[in-house]
Amino acid sequence: MSSDELPKELSSEELINFYKKMLLIREFELRITKDSGKIKSPLVHPYTGEEAIAIGACAAIDEDDYITSTHRGHGHFIAKGGDINSLMAEIYGKEGGICKGRGGSMHVADFSKNMLGANGIVGAGPPLALGVALASKMRNEGKVVLTFFGDGAANQGMLHESMNLAVIWKLPIIFVLENNMYGWSTSVKYATAIKDLSLRAQGYGMRGITIDGNDVIKVYKTTKEAIDLARKGGGPTLIECKTYRWQGQTTMDADKYRSTEEKEEWKKKCPIEAYKIKLIKSEVIDRTIIQKIEEDTLAQVELSVKLAKKSPKPNATTVLDDIYKNPIDLGGN
């Protein structure tokens, strides 16, 4: 089946949900970046342009499967079903935040959704995912783990050790490489000699595939295949999703290392716009539905900002809460 065809196993509602959720990530991020000067934790890593990866990949797993994320975690959080009000409050550093305002943008997690956390350490998600996948296998839970990471992380030793062990132990883990072409200001062409980073999988005896990361259906189908195989005991897969980050590395990045032409070229390949056209052509949605979705999304985001602003600041006396489970466990007194 070509990726132009919409998967028959998905209902119109599910297909429309892909669109709704990609748009929610986009509008959420645009709203934060607009407000970034006023937000307590202004260092936000925007995911704009990469939405199809989080949505396509997370749609392929079950609710009780796991994900690990990166420093660019809002998209993964939303895709895994996290609540945007608590996400927004977290970014505002407020008590109503998912981590009670203590983690900020880079550390969002929602254990109730098995979203095991964004992470400020590049490449730290895969070893965590490895442990979770090993636990799932040893407990016979049948759950799989998606671990998201970037092209910069693809050169980190932690990733390679994780891929090697995942193959040897045949673990139910999918390595989702978000190749947005830059590790901060370093072009992937400068950092890596190979064209497709999925080739790395061969060195470990793993399946590796490179796909268009801006095609949400392609991401969904490829992840689904890999997940089905992993659940049957077939071990891990590395999926390289080629994409592009539209905004700077962070909201504080002057972004001088990329040409305007390059950015404009990639904006023409907008994953949300491309998918919208596909849905219209397939008569899954029409202009009226689109308008309604757009209005609802903006209203949802505005509500989250309103609630975040109203939420109280964390009380300084509680700063150590949730850090130590029990000091006696740690040998303290």
Ligand X SMILES: Cc1ncc(C[n+]2csc(CCOP(=O)(O)OP(=O)(O)O)c2C)c(N)n1
Told to check if 72 binds ligand X by CB under 6 A, we report yes
Choice between 87 and 89, CB closer to ligand X? 87
Q: Tokens 């757009």 belong to which residue?
A: 294
Told to check if 182 binds ligand X by CB under 6 A, we report yes
**Closest CB 183 distance from ligand X, rounded Å:** 3
Told to check if 42 binds ligand X by CB under 6 A, we report no
Told to check if 151 binds ligand X by CB under 6 A, we report yes
Told to check if 159 binds ligand X by CB under 6 A, we report no
* Closest listed residue to residue 160, CA positions, set 203, 118, 195: 203
Out of 42, 97, 150, 213, point to the residue binding ligand X (CB under 6 A).
150
Give the binding range for ligand X (CB under 6 A) out of 60-68, 86-94, 117-125, 294-302. Answer: 117-125
Told to check if 183 binds ligand X by CB under 6 A, we report yes
Told to check if 257 binds ligand X by CB under 6 A, we report no
Give the binding range for ligand X (CB under 6 A) out of 107-115, 174-182, 270-278, 323-331. Answer: 174-182
Query: How is 188-233 classified by DSSP, letter by letter?
Result: HHHH-S-S-GGGGGGGGT-EEEEEETT-HHHHHHHHHHHHHHHHTT
Out of 133, 153, 163, 241, point to the residue binding ligand X (CB under 6 A).
153
Told to check if 174 binds ligand X by CB under 6 A, we report no
Told to check if 184 binds ligand X by CB under 6 A, we report yes
| Site size with ligand X, rule: CB under 6 A | 16
**Closest CB 240 distance from ligand X, rounded Å:** 12
Q: Identify the bridge partners of residue 148 per DSSP, sorted by sequence position.
A: 176
**Closest CB 314 distance from ligand X, rounded Å:** 24
Segment 274 to 333, residues that bind ligand X, using CB under 6 A: none
Give the Cα separation of 127 and 114 in Å (integer): 16
| Cβ neighbours for 296, distance < 8 A, ≥ 6 positions apart | none
Give the binding range for ligand X (CB under 6 A) out of 116-124, 203-211, 266-274, 296-304. Answer: 116-124
Q: Among positive and negative, which fits the CA dihedral 122, 125, 126, 130? A: positive
| Cβ neighbours for 43, distance < 8 A, ≥ 6 positions apart | 104, 105, 106, 250, 251, 252
Told to check if 103 binds ligand X by CB under 6 A, we report no
Give the Cα separation of 267 and 282 in Å (integer): 23
Told to check if 69 binds ligand X by CB under 6 A, we report no
Helices (H), the chain: 12-35, 51-59, 74-79, 84-91, 125-138, 157-168, 188-191, 216-231, 260-267, 271-281, 287-310
Out of 120, 253, 276, 284, point to the residue binding ligand X (CB under 6 A).
120
Q: What is the DSSP letter of 97?
A: S
Query: How is 170-197 classified by DSSP, letter by letter?
Result: T-SEEEEEEE-SEETTEEHHHH-S-S-G
Give the Cα separation of 189 and 265 in Å (integer): 17
Told to check if 70 binds ligand X by CB under 6 A, we report yes
Out of 180, 198, 210, 251, point to the residue binding ligand X (CB under 6 A).
180
Out of 73, 82, 152, 213, point to the residue binding ligand X (CB under 6 A).
152
Do the Cβ atoms of 285 and 279 come closer than 8 Å? yes
Instruction: Characterise 186 by phi-psi region: left (phi > 0), alpha (psi -120 to 50), beta (else).
Output: beta
Told to check if 208 binds ligand X by CB under 6 A, we report no
**Closest CB 121 distance from ligand X, rounded Å:** 5
Told to check if 127 binds ligand X by CB under 6 A, we report no
**Closest CB 44 distance from ligand X, rounded Å:** 12
Provide the binding-site residues for ligand X, judged by CB under 6 A. 70-72, 120-122, 150-153, 178, 180, 182-184, 249
